[in-house]
Structure 1
Amino acid sequence: MKKMNYQVTIDSPVDHVFKTMLDKETYKKWTAAFNPTSDFEGSWKKGAKIYFTGINKDGEKEGMVAEIAENIPNKYISIRHYGILDKGKEITEGPAVEGWAGSLENYTFTDLDGKTLLKVDVDTNEEYIEYFDESWPKALQILKEISEG
């Protein structure tokens, strides 16, 4: 696993950026950079299971199965990925998940005199580095625009 780091400064208070990032409707907007049908099912509460979903080219639901490892409102969120959804079925062991199960996706929110510095640290394997380097900056730019709008 390789840890990738991305960040953006948003001209909006931390509490607004935090809410915008997690709110169902605005979440779909900024994560469209990864998948136009991006969505989530579940809760952002610490310890909760959450599905990060999208619709594949065959019209079937797929995505990631994760746990909210930490949620400190307006400060920090940690997501631990441990499985996938394939045609709506949860897969948490075997070759499909062995290469990245346990990977973390962490968000740190820092107040900069009314602005927000959002840092993202993501574990990934080699095959997704290029995709992440392309998609994360786009996603964070969208989050910046909707948070500032």
Structure 2
Amino acid sequence: MKFLEFEIQINATPEKVWETLFTQDSYKKWASAMNEGTYFEGNWEVGSIMKFLDPQNNGMYNLVTENIRFKVLGMKHLGWILKGELSPQNWEDSTLNYILEPSENGTLLKGTVNSLDEFVEFFNSKYPQNFEHIKRLSEK
């Protein structure tokens, strides 16, 4: 496992950044850095399962572990989705957190990932692009 951190200063309120992160329309726009056409299914409530899918119904699913509105959202990676079917994986303590901190100029968005070694390159190549998209959309 490798602990990764990403952050970006966004000139928008935590409420606006939160909306950009977790509403379907804006999620589809910023998540395109990972995979064009990506969308989610779920409600972001603690204890719920979130599915992140591509247009072919493939993707991954996570358990929401924390949701403090406008401040933090945490998830544990559980497995793949292949043609709509859940495929549980033993990904140990693979987690993802979005942390929003109010700052003088808006919001400092932080992302922390406890990643399996096999996914480090993916996160390092995709998340900086994601954060740039989130910044652009939030500052509109």
Gaps of 5+ in 2: none
**TM-score w.r.t. structure 1 length?**
0.89
State the partner residue of 1:35. 35
Residue 148 of structure 1, CA deviation: 0.2
1:113 aligned onto 2:109:
no
**Within 2, Cα distance between the matches of 1:83 and 1:135?**
19
1:111-144 CA-to-partner distances (Å, cap 9, x unmatched) read: 0035100110012122222221111100100000
1:60-115 CA-to-partner distances (Å, cap 9, x unmatched) read: 311112111010001110011112111111112xxxx22x2541100110000351
| 2:125 alignment partner AA | E
State the partner residue of 2:134. 143
Please identify runs of 4+ aligned residues in structure 1 that moved more than 6 A. none
Check whether the contact 2:102–2:108 (CA below 8 A) recurs between aligned residues.
Answer: yes
**Within 2, Cα distance between the matches of 1:4 and 1:131?**
11
Check whether the contact 1:83–1:101 (CA below 8 A) recurs between aligned residues.
Answer: no
Gaps of 5+ in 1: none
Residue 39 of structure 1, CA deviation: 0.8
1:70 aligned onto 2:66:
yes
1:85 to 68, 81, 90: 81
2:95 to 99, 104, 110: 104
**Within 2, Cα distance between the matches of 1:101 and 1:41?**
23
Q: Paired residues, what number?
A: 140
CA-atom RMSD in angstroms: 1.2
**Within 2, Cα distance between the matches of 1:142 and 1:22?**
13
